[in-house]
Amino acid sequence: VCGMEWYGYAALGVLTAFLSFLMDLSVAKLLNAHQWLYMKLEGNSLLQFFCWTLYPACLCAVGSTFSHDICPFSTGSGIPEVRTMLVGFEMPHYLSVTHLFTKYVGLICTLAAGSTVFLGKVGPFVHLSTMVGAYLSNLCTLVQVDKKENALREMLVVAAGVGVASCFGAPVSGVLFSVEVMSSHFALKQYVPCFFSAACGALTFRLFAVWSGDGETLQALFKTDFPAALPFYPLEILLFAFLGLVCGAVSCCYLFCHRRMLKFTKTNSVLAKLLTTEKGLYAGTVAFLLACVTFPHFFGRYMASKFTMKQLLTSLMDSSQWGSQTHNASVSEPLSKWSSPESPFYFSLTFFLLMKMWLLVVACSLPVPAGYFMPVFLYGAALGRLVGEGAAYVFSWTSINPGGYALAGAAAYSGAVTHTLSPALLAVEVTGQFSHAVPALVAALLANAVARSRRRPSFYDALSIGK
Amino acid sequence: VCGMEWYGYAALGVLTAFLSFLMDLSVAKLLNAHQWLYMKLEGNSLLQFFCWTLYPACLCAVGSTFSHDICPFSTGSGIPEVRTMLVGFEMPHYLSVTHLFTKYVGLICTLAAGSTVFLGKVGPFVHLSTMVGAYLSNLCTLVQVDKKENALREMLVVAAGVGVASCFGAPVSGVLFSVEVMSSHFALKQYVPCFFSAACGALTFRLFAVWSGDGETLQALFKTDFPAALPFYPLEILLFAFLGLVCGAVSCCYLFCHRRMLKFTKTNSVLAKLLTTEKGLYAGTVAFLLACVTFPHFFGRYMASKFTMKQLLTSLMDSSQWGSQTHNASVSEPLSKWSSPESPFYFSLTFFLLMKMWLLVVACSLPVPAGYFMPVFLYGAALGRLVGEGAAYVFSWTSINPGGYALAGAAAYSGAVTHTLSPALLAVEVTGQFSHAVPALVAALLANAVARSRRRPSFYDALSIGK
């Protein structure tokens, strides 16, 4: 009844989701192994230090060398390349199966280094899904008798949408995010294939989670439990707007540092030479330094460095007020990791924000396959949490939910860095609660207004210019 | 700092939301007056009959005559006209302030006729907001020194998005719906203004509701209380897919009837003459007939005709199983209206679906300003409810939530009729719960696949061709 390409779209969604699930599984195993070893060495700080630092350093060095040796251009996020291909440039070596394999293995190494390296998987997954799409498109062309024109390009557009969707199990915002990032004009003809493929991907991704015993039913990835009856007071909209402006300002600072860092790695002769010839060495050294800073017996205890990325995000979106808990005897699980007797959580959050700003800029220079969206999203959540806790302290007679500010902050900050609005929807979709949709949208709009003023380039623009 | 047009966009959102709120308020007053009178006449069936039938008949006759006399082209949905304008045709008389006023008053009359006439406000509101936009654009051009080209067109694109957003207080899906309905290519440059204006509109609309004492905080328009822990079992996806196919098939039938009716009113000489010269008479007669059929002491008792549109939708999205309640002594509020001793709710729902199919086709021929989205959305919810209750009966050992099927059915059916996907997001946004986003998207995709097969025209295409 329907054309060959629809089977291709469905297969694309299912395959990408399968890859995503398999990656999550392997990364979780590797992270667990690290945690287990670290716990076993309890009592011996020196051995713990080596375990903490050498594990990510080795992973990054291996991932970097491996991807450099097999496919030298497989490092980085991949979004600038996909963008270029969608505009119409043909870059067949960027779509080969070897490249797919290299990027996949390299990305597992990066993610297994965990929250010390603090990088994500969104960008490379967009690239991975376009590679799967190109492969499927070739298969379709082999089978089909009457060849369609532009079949490859259409498949690539669809694949770009599927990548984000099967990363987070969020079909709607996944498609919208890649539309915003990728293209300046979007043909509505490709709307339905995109959503079809993304729905297949998100469904498969979540069903895998159910079948592997991770949950009883299809759930949001970072499920929250905000109170449904009174999510926020109407006047809190002003606070959310203020949060949006703060996020916009901080994002300008981050983008400036990132551009300077990109320029510095190009112009500094030592670094530039190191990055072309000795990628593995550079990656290992930088990862070692990052791990030194986040070592739990050193600065790490002030920045909850024992959490994985997922745990960090879940803890920041906690709906209870941490400020009011410090007087009580019972302290909730997230707060106990974020505070210690010598450092209240206010200090930890501020320290986390200050340190991660430059750590993230350094981490972005790592020559490994890595996504830069998730860390930015997390950073925004921490920023939002701090503002939310502050608001809860100032207006202590009301029951302000700081988790909602974390959600809006994540949406606003990641939206400002990438110059998009869809993170507002993404934040709602990955947490599975709609109550904060309007605050998140308001915050994202204002953050975008600040970030886009004076024609500043977005994060991906800066990467594209750098290439 | 920012250009004049941004103030225009904000004003557009706020003004449209204000119009929408004012309309809801007046309609509620008029509906209450009708209900009060009907209750007072309890015991005298004949007087009740006249009250039930003459009230909507008069309203429709007045609305039709009024809009015909002042602005003869203000009838109908307005979406085909807005589409034509966005393509590039200039139709200044469709954007005048007189037209705005006429359409506004006419729409109040139609909506006040309530669920007997069974028409909505989405389409005309898109048109109303474009008129507001055109007016504001003129104001901007007067004030601004350096005139921008295409300012009017940009404002119209934004305004089309705002209309839906401030109708339902749903900014994200509002913009996406109008993008899908209006244009074949969409420039991302207009993305941010659209969302900015829609967020302003949705915020204002909901804040008005808070300030008028309708709710304690910003809430979804049709708030549901589905269980958050286990919204549905993974295998229920198959049932949702089946529901999507059913919705697609029924929508084809509805669209076929609608096209035949459009053709019939053009070709039949008596009707065509009546519709050109005696619009008021025709509208009054048809509304009278519709009201006769839905009279609560006649067929109306089998189709819950005492409910307003909003109450109908809320009752259908009820999360409790009606089937299991019939054995208990305590019966929930929605069920008591949908069933009576002589007619179980299965019969009522089926009867409702069969009758409303042709009643709605007839109502669409009324020469009054009216929207055709809401009735279709409601019809889909009833269809979904029926399938959901059937599923709950067959799989009686599980705790299936028929309200979720109503939500997915509404999304799938309205998506199929308009050939769009965004109703899936709209259904999630107006109910304020994200748990059923993926089922709704799956159902909407399959319904669209059925409805779009063999290049059938959508509802709005049929209207455009008819003009």
Q: Which residue has the tokens 């909505």?
A: B120
Q: How far apart are CA B255 and CA B19, in angstroms?
A: 31
pLDDT computed for residue B147 by the predictor: 60
Please say whether the beta carbons of A190 and A158 come within 8 A: yes
pLDDT computed for residue A235 by the predictor: 84
**Can you read off the two tokens belonging to residue A322?**
């941490």
Query: What DSSP line would sit under A147-170, residue for residue?
Result: PPTTHHHHHHHHHHHHHHHHHHT-
Helix or strand holding residue B139 (H, E): helix B122-143
pLDDT computed for residue A145 by the predictor: 63
Rounded to 10 degrees, the C-alpha dihedral A434/A436/A442/A444 comes to -80
Please say whether the beta carbons of B118 and B124 come within 8 A: no
Q: How many Å from the N-terminal Cα to the C-terminal Cα in chain B? A: 45
Co-location of B88 and B184 in the same domain: yes
Q: What number is the average pLDDT over the span A31-60?
A: 90
Identify the domain boundary among A157, A177, A211. A211
**Can you read off the two tokens belonging to residue A361?**
């800029």
Q: How far apart are CA A356 and CA A350, in angstroms?
A: 10
Q: Considering only the beta carbons, identify the residue of A1, A172, A217 that sits closest to B231.
A: A217
Q: How many CA atoms lie within 13 A of B279 on its CB side?
A: 24
- Rounded to the nearest 5°, which phi and psi values hold at A192? -70, -50
* Domain contains B168: yes
Q: How many CA atoms lie within 13 A of A228 on its CB side?
A: 16
Residue B103 neighbours by CB under 8 Å, 6+ apart: B67, B71, B74, B78, B124, B127, B128, B131, B369
CA distance B446 to chain A (A): 9
Mark yes or no for CB contact A195/B441 under 8 Å. yes
Mark yes or no for CB contact A185/B180 under 8 Å. no
- Where residue A22 falls among pLDDT bands split at 50, 70, 90? very high
B245: contact with A, CB 8 A cutoff: no
- Where residue A2 falls among pLDDT bands split at 50, 70, 90? low
Please say whether the beta carbons of A115 and A312 come within 8 A: yes
pLDDT computed for residue A61 by the predictor: 92
Identify the domain boundary among B177, B211, B245. B211
Please say whether the beta carbons of A177 and A426 come within 8 A: yes
B171: contact with A, CB 8 A cutoff: yes
Co-location of A368 and A453 in the same domain: yes
pLDDT computed for residue B155 by the predictor: 86
Residue A347 neighbours by CB under 8 Å, 6+ apart: A302
Mark yes or no for CB contact B230/A216 under 8 Å. yes
Please say whether the beta carbons of B399 and B385 come within 8 A: no
Co-location of B395 and B263 in the same domain: yes
pLDDT in tens, A285-342: 999 999 988 888 878 788 878 888 888 888 888 888 887 776 555 666 777 778 777 7
Q: What number is the average pLDDT over the span A204-223?
A: 77
Mark yes or no for CB contact A441/B195 under 8 Å. yes
Please say whether the beta carbons of A313 and A140 come within 8 A: no
Mark yes or no for CB contact B180/A172 under 8 Å. no
Q: Considering only the beta carbons, identify the residue of A203, A421, A453 that sits closest to B191.
A: A421
* Domain contains A66: yes
Co-location of A177 and A266 in the same domain: no
Co-location of A257 and A306 in the same domain: yes
Please say whether the beta carbons of A128 and A159 come within 8 A: no
Q: How far apart are CA B52 and CA B54, in angstroms?
A: 6
Co-location of B188 and B74 in the same domain: yes
Co-location of A82 and A168 in the same domain: yes
Residue positions counted in chain B: 467
Rounded to 10 degrees, the C-alpha dihedral B264/B270/B274/B277 comes to 120
Q: Which domain holds residue B359?
A: 236-466
* pLDDT at A217 exceeding the cut of 70: no
Structural domains of chain A, count:
2
Chain B residues near residue A195 by CB distance under 8 angstroms: 421, 441, 445
Mark yes or no for CB contact A195/B421 under 8 Å. yes
Helix or strand holding residue A315 (H, E): helix A309-316
Residue A40 neighbours by CB under 8 Å, 6+ apart: none
**Can you read off the two tokens belonging to residue B441?**
């998207």
**Strand, coil or helix: what is B433?**
strand
* Domain contains A24: yes
- Rounded to the nearest 5°, which phi and psi values hold at B186? -130, 130
- Rounded to the nearest 5°, which phi and psi values hold at A342? -85, -10
* Nearest residue to A53 via CA among A247, A257, A299: A299
Co-location of B291 and B207 in the same domain: no
Please say whether the beta carbons of B35 and B28 come within 8 A: no
Helix or strand holding residue B325 (H, E): helix B322-325
Please say whether the beta carbons of B174 and B198 come within 8 A: yes
> How many contacts, defined by CB atoms under 8 Å, are there between A and B?
124
CA distance B27 to chain A (A): 25
- ipTM for the predicted complex: 0.85
- Among residues of chain A, what percentage have pLDDT more than 70? 95
- Rounded to the nearest 5°, which phi and psi values hold at A187? -85, 130
Environment class of B465 (CB within 10 Å of its CB; exposed 0-12, middle 13-18, buried 19+): exposed
Check residue B437 and give left, alpha or beta (phi > 0: left; psi -120 to 50: alpha): alpha
Co-location of A308 and A164 in the same domain: no
Chain A residues near residue B230 by CB distance under 8 angstroms: 216-217
pLDDT computed for residue A322 by the predictor: 81
A218: contact with B, CB 8 A cutoff: yes
A235: contact with B, CB 8 A cutoff: no
**Cα–Cα separations (whole angstroms), residue A269 to A264, A276, A283, B157:** 9, 11, 17, 51
**Can you read off the two tokens belonging to residue B354?**
């069969």
B421: contact with A, CB 8 A cutoff: yes
* Nearest residue to A417 via CA among A466, A462, A384: A462
**Of A258-267, A402-411, B180-189, B378-387, the least confident:** B180-189
Co-location of A278 and A136 in the same domain: no
**Strand, coil or helix: what is A26?**
helix
Query: What DSSP line would sit under A248-304, residue for residue?
Result: HHHHHHHHHHHHHHHHHHHH-HHHHHHHHH-HHHHHHHHHHHHHHHT-TTTGGGGTT
Mark yes or no for CB contact B185/A187 under 8 Å. yes
**Strand, coil or helix: what is B453?**
helix
* Domain contains B221: no
Q: How far apart are CA B379 and CA B247, in angstroms?
A: 10
Residue positions counted in chain A: 467
DSSP state of A115: G
pLDDT computed for residue B386 by the predictor: 93
* Domain contains A229: no
Beta-bridge mates of residue B120: B371
**Can you read off the two tokens belonging to residue B7?**
């103030």
Residue A422: closest CA among chain B residues belongs to which residue?
Answer: B172
Q: What number is the average pLDDT over the span A126-145?
A: 85
* Domain contains B248: yes
Co-location of B398 and B274 in the same domain: yes
B218: contact with A, CB 8 A cutoff: yes
Co-location of A264 and A397 in the same domain: yes
Average pLDDT score over chain A: 86
Mark yes or no for CB contact A434/B438 under 8 Å. no
Mark yes or no for CB contact A186/B184 under 8 Å. no
CATH number at residue A189: 1.10.3080.10
* H-assigned helices in B183-228: 191-211
Q: How far apart are CA B183 and CA B57, in angstroms?
A: 36
Encoded amino acid at B453, one letter = S
Identify the domain boundary among B160, B194, B211. B211
* Domain contains B163: yes
Helix or strand holding residue B187 (H, E): strand B185-187
Please say whether the beta carbons of B440 and B427 come within 8 A: yes
CA distance B87 to chain A (A): 15
**Which residue ranges in chain B fall short of pLDDT 70?**
1-2, 145-149, 215-218, 325-332, 467
* Nearest residue to B165 via CA among B434, B422, B462: B422
Compute the 3-state secondary structure of chain B and give helix, strand, coil in percent, each to the nearest 5.
75, 0, 25
B5: contact with A, CB 8 A cutoff: no
- Residues 251-270 of chain B with CB under 8 A from chain A are none
Q: How far apart are CA A47 and CA B155, in angstroms?
A: 65
* Domain contains A92: yes
Q: How far apart are CA B368 and CA B75, in angstroms?
A: 5
**Strand, coil or helix: what is B196?**
helix
Q: Considering only the beta carbons, identify the residue of B2, B179, B196 that sits closest to A445.
A: B196
A357: contact with B, CB 8 A cutoff: no
A171: contact with B, CB 8 A cutoff: yes
